[in-house]
Amino acid sequence: MAEASVFSVEQFSCPVCLDLLKDPVTIHCGHSYCMSCITDCWDQEDQKRVYSCPQCRQTFSPTPALGKNTMLAIVVEKLKKTNLKAAVPAGHGDVECDICTGRKHKAVKSCLVCLESYCQTHFERHEEFRSGKRHKVTDATGRLQQMICHQHDKLLELFCRTDQQCVCVLCMTDEHKNHETVSTAAERTEKESEIQQRIQQRQKDLEQLREAVESHKRSAQTAVEDSERIFTELIRSIERSRSEVTQRIRDQEKTAVSRAEGQMERLEQETEDLKKRNSELEQLSHTDDHIHFLQVTEI
């Protein structure tokens, strides 16, 4: 581990594929590449019969003979073993590094120019090789394909307000010419502002509705309390009237009963007097003294 720590990953990365050198070869200018990478580059220059270094642009003719740099291959292998121990494998749902070969590592950044995602190691190499002109990068995303124009293979960095869609710089000069366009960042800011305004308006509307509900509840409670008070007073009034009517009926009953009882006493007394007189008359029923009978029966 101590031996591997003296190596720099960037020093042993292929300038073409950005990965650690595989079957490394060193050409006459001193730059090193993967055997397959430099071969592919020079295959594209066959028609010109002049071959160049992709890095320093030194030209060669005819094609230089390529031989594996054995010492460099040993160093790269040691560095690869050290690097693999520190790498974080991509898990389920993670964005994978597009450069890693074999087991993919978790991507940490995505380049919006190269349209590739990189693990920490490959991102550092990307930045090293692009030190002259920085590319626009973002946190690792699995939506790179949705962020480019499928017609022009350019980043969708503009928004057409006329057609309400994201467009690239070439779209703006073609089918979206003379349309109202702004940067996606500006449109996002505008949209976020609109959303915030709508949220605030909805919150205001919600608060007004809450106040209206509370007002209705208070009004309803007041109406209930008023009706309870009114009906309570009505019930009390009816109870008083019922008591008064009952008392009046009882008074009338008492008066009538008292009068009737007085009459009954008189009638009973008269009946007793008549019965007594009748007894006396029975005793005189056998006398022929009519004058005495009439005097005795005189009421």
Q: What is the mean pLDDT of the chain?
A: 86
Closest by alpha carbon to 145, among 161, 156, 159?
156
Instruction: Determine which of 67-81, 198-212, 233-247 has the lowest per-residue pLDDT on average.
Output: 67-81
Average of per-residue pLDDT across 10-22: 82
- As assigned by CATH, the class of the 1-86 domain is alpha beta
Q: 207 falls in which pLDDT band (50, 70, 90)? A: very high
Q: How far apart are CA 20 and CA 100, in angstroms?
A: 9
CA gyration radius for the chain? 59
- Answer positive or negative: Cα dihedral of 138, 147, 95, 13: negative
Q: Which amino acid type is present at position 116?
A: E
**Cβ contact 118:126 at 8 Å:** yes
In this model, does residue 24 exceed pLDDT 80? Answer: yes
Q: What is the pTM of this model?
A: 0.43
Neighbours of 40 (CB within 10 A): 13
**Cβ contact 202:196 at 8 Å:** no
In this model, does residue 215 exceed pLDDT 80? Answer: yes
Neighbours of 133 (CB within 10 A): 6
pLDDT value at position 132?
Answer: 65
The tokens describing 121, both together, are: 């190691």
Neighbours of 13 (CB within 10 A): 25
Q: How far apart are CA 92 and CA 154, in angstroms?
A: 29
Q: 186 falls in which pLDDT band (50, 70, 90)? A: very high
Helix (H) or strand (E) holding 202: helix 184-284
What's the pLDDT tens digit per position in 50-63? 889 988 889 988 88
In this model, does residue 4 exceed pLDDT 50? Answer: no
pLDDT value at position 127?
Answer: 81
What's the pLDDT tens digit per position in 136-147? 888 888 888 788
